[in-house]
Amino acid sequence: MLAPVDSTLATVPTFHALSDIYTSDLLKHAARFQLLTEAFIATYGFKPSFIVRAPGRVNIIGEHIDYCGFPVFPMAIVPDSLIAVRASRERRIRLANINPKYPSREFSCEPGSSVTINNSTHDWTNYFKCGYKGAIEAIDCTNPQGMECLMDGSVPSSAGLSSSSAIVCCAVLATMKVNDRLLPKSDVVETAVASERYIGTNGGGMDQTTSIMSQSQSAVFIEFNPELKITPVKFPSTDPQITFVIANTLVVSDKAVTAPVCYNLRVVETRIGALILAKHLGIANRAACKDIDPLTFKVVMDEYFSTQDTAGSDDVQVWIDHLDAMLHASIEAFGAHPDGYTREQMATALDMTPDALSAAVHEDRFPVRAQQFKLLQRAQHAFSEALRVVKFRQICESGDTRINYCSALGDLMNCSQDSCRDLFECSCPEIDELCALARRSGSFGSRLTGAGWGGCTVHLVLKDKVGSFIAAIKREFYAKHVPNMNDEALSDAIFVTTPGNGAAFYMFD
């Protein structure tokens, strides 16, 4: 594999031209920025000092494994969150949204005041508050500057394209810039990841890393352990060219609202799985496993093979060998409970009380509800999905013209969807229906993207087939499920995307 590009030490760039941010549809973007600027003046009486933007993302492959410590393969998309910002002498943070269905809010930023985030109320400004609170803590700001902010977002909400993380990233960046403490990208990512946990979602970092670190025309291979590494990866050159189509099932799945029985439950299942697997492998008492919180499947795998000499070995083959071994080990460790564990059974396996186990995986901050915890299935998905990510990158970078890239990459995406549906159980009937229809309509690979349980799907389609593919999905899926959708809504529901730029500041001349 190529050495990762260390872009983590750079700061988020500042541009004066939209052509440095977007590569197409510049008139459309210019009109949007102008509308936001005029709305800001109408709201606050002054022109904004800058606009911060952070894109959504589509995960091509590597679902639910960032919080297991494994690499993922997403790319930034063109839809993004924008926040127009102006520093204020008032000790207030004033928040407004260009969409009138989202109410305006404000809160104090007096020295010593605390930011209250009410997770029981699903309010759009909670995501801004998370980012603001995290940024103030990260820069150790005791005398924060007041701000006036106006937001506009084009990332569909609750669709698996990370609209919430885009808001959090914007809030972090806006707060740092107004207070004149802009940190390197790696620190911004770390801050945004920690900030979003204030909303009650125990995420792994893929969304924020993609939004901050992405580069135009490249997906990103993101490694989290032992440290954050970003490697831009271009898709293979084919004729016709590979493209990706995003199609929204329109099934709303809000990650924060459903967390105790969906997203956070899966995190807890993998965390407990890592604890039990480490004990099964006889490494639980090693410092690398005992002194880390959280313990992840990636840490367990690395520690188990830590004494193996891999000098001179092919990196990809090492990954494959290690992940294959962990797949077999997980069957040995969890196979006696194919239908899942009770809390008591998990605690017994770890020589703990159920209360101690709950504390070990931080259920006080991220509560979950389940009768059975399916550790075998979750481990099988995590290790096999990581293997698919490694192989996906290997194919993209191979340069081997004998490979049928569309079939090879598409097969990995289809296997990922099967695993998400059958082992991780984060699909839903509409996702399954849409993916099956897409494959019949010309997609080489179709899968859910994002947390799942609804939201969006992503499809690998050749460029010359995009028109007929989209027409078929509109005719056979959207006309069936939402027959009264207008053309504008349909265009927002299904669209072609290319790898976009990461976060940026737009400064006025």
Residues with catalytic annotation?
A: 207
3-state secondary structure (DSSP) of residue 10: coil
Q: What is the structure's pLDDT at 112?
A: 81
Express each pLDDT in 49-64 by its tens digit.
999 999 999 999 999 9
Q: How many residues does the chain have?
A: 509
Three-state DSSP at 507 gives: strand
3-state SS of 67-97 is HHCCCEEEEEEEEEEEEEEEEECCCEEEEEE
pLDDT at 175: 98
DSSP letter, residue 55: E
For 203-239, how does the pLDDT look when each residue is reduced to its tens digit (9 = 90+)? 789 999 999 999 999 999 999 999 999 999 999 999 9
Q: Which amino acid is at 260?
A: P
Give the span between the Cα atoms of 21 and 79, in whole angstroms: 12
Q: Closest Cα to residue 166, out of 176, 154, 181?
A: 154
Mean pLDDT of the chain: 94
Do residues 204 and 247 make contact, with C-beta atoms less than 8 angstroms apart? Answer: no
DSSP for 94-129 reads EEEESSTTS--EEEE--TT------TTS--THHHHH
Which tokens go with 173? Answer: 């960046």
- At residue 116, the pLDDT reads 87
Mean pLDDT of 371-384: 98
Dihedral pair phi/psi, residue 230, rounded to 5°: -120, 125
Whether 5 shows a pLDDT value over 70: the answer reads no
Say whether pLDDT at 186 is over 60.
yes
Would you say residue 3 has pLDDT above 80?
Answer: no
Residue 341 has pLDDT above 80, yes or no: yes
Which segment of 8-17, 49-58, 397-406, 479-488 scores lowest on mean pLDDT? 8-17
The residue among 504, 228, 267 whose CA lies nearest residue 373 is 267
The residue type found at 352 is M
In this predicted model, what pLDDT tens digit does every residue of 255-283 receive, in sequence order? 677 889 999 999 999 999 999 999 999 99
Can you tell me the distance from the alpha carbon of 193 to that of 209, in angstroms, rounded to the nearest whole number?
8
| Whether the Cβ atoms of residue 14 and residue 504 lie closer than 8 Å to each other | yes
pLDDT tier, 4 (very low <50, low <70, confident <90, very high otherwise): very low
Distance, in Å, from the CA atom of 294 to the CA atom of 66, rounded to the nearest integer, reads 13
Report the alpha-carbon distance of residue 426 to residue 480 in Å, rounded.
Answer: 23
134, 209, 225: which is closest to 165 by C-alpha? Answer: 209
Tokens of 477: 């899926």
d(CA 459, CA 435): 8
Question: What is the rounded average pLDDT of the residues 366-376?
Answer: 96
Give residue 2's pLDDT: 39
- 458 has which bridge partners? 246, 447
What pLDDT, in 10s, does the model give residues 296-310?
999 999 999 999 999
Average pLDDT over residues 324-348: 98
DSSP classification of residue 458 = E
DSSP 155-172: SPTTSSS-HHHHHHHHHH
Model confidence band, residue 6 (pLDDT cutoffs 50, 70, 90): low
- Are the C-beta atoms of 426 and 63 separated by less than 8 Å? yes
Is the omega angle on the peptide bond into residue 240 within 30 degrees of 0, that is, cis? yes
Which residues, 6 or more positions from 161, have their beta carbon under 8 angstroms from its beta carbon? Answer: 56, 57, 58, 77, 79, 155, 246, 449, 450, 455, 456
Q: Of all residues in the chain, what percent carry a pLDDT higher than 90? A: 87
What is the CA angle 111-115-117, rounded to 5?
180
Give residue 7's pLDDT: 61
Question: Tens of pLDDT along 139-183?
Answer: 999 999 999 999 999 998 878 898 999 999 999 999 999 999 999
| Whole-number pLDDT of residue 490 | 93
**Comparing 21-25, 302-306, 426-430, which segment has the lowest mean pLDDT?**
21-25
Whole-structure pTM value: 0.93
Position 121 scores a pLDDT of: 77
CB 379 within 8 A of CB 334: yes
Residue 18, pLDDT score: 96
The radius of gyration of the chain's CA atoms, rounded to the nearest angstrom, is: 23
- 371 has a pLDDT exceeding 80: yes
Residue 279's alpha-carbon distances to 41, 274, 376, in angstroms, are 60, 9, 15
Q: Percent of the chain having pLDDT more than 70?
A: 98
Q: For residues 80 and 163, what is the distance between their CA atoms, to the nearest angstrom? A: 8
88: β partners? 146
Average the pLDDT over each of 398-402, 436-440, 461-465 and give the range with the smallest value.
398-402
Band (8; pLDDT cuts 50, 70, 90): low
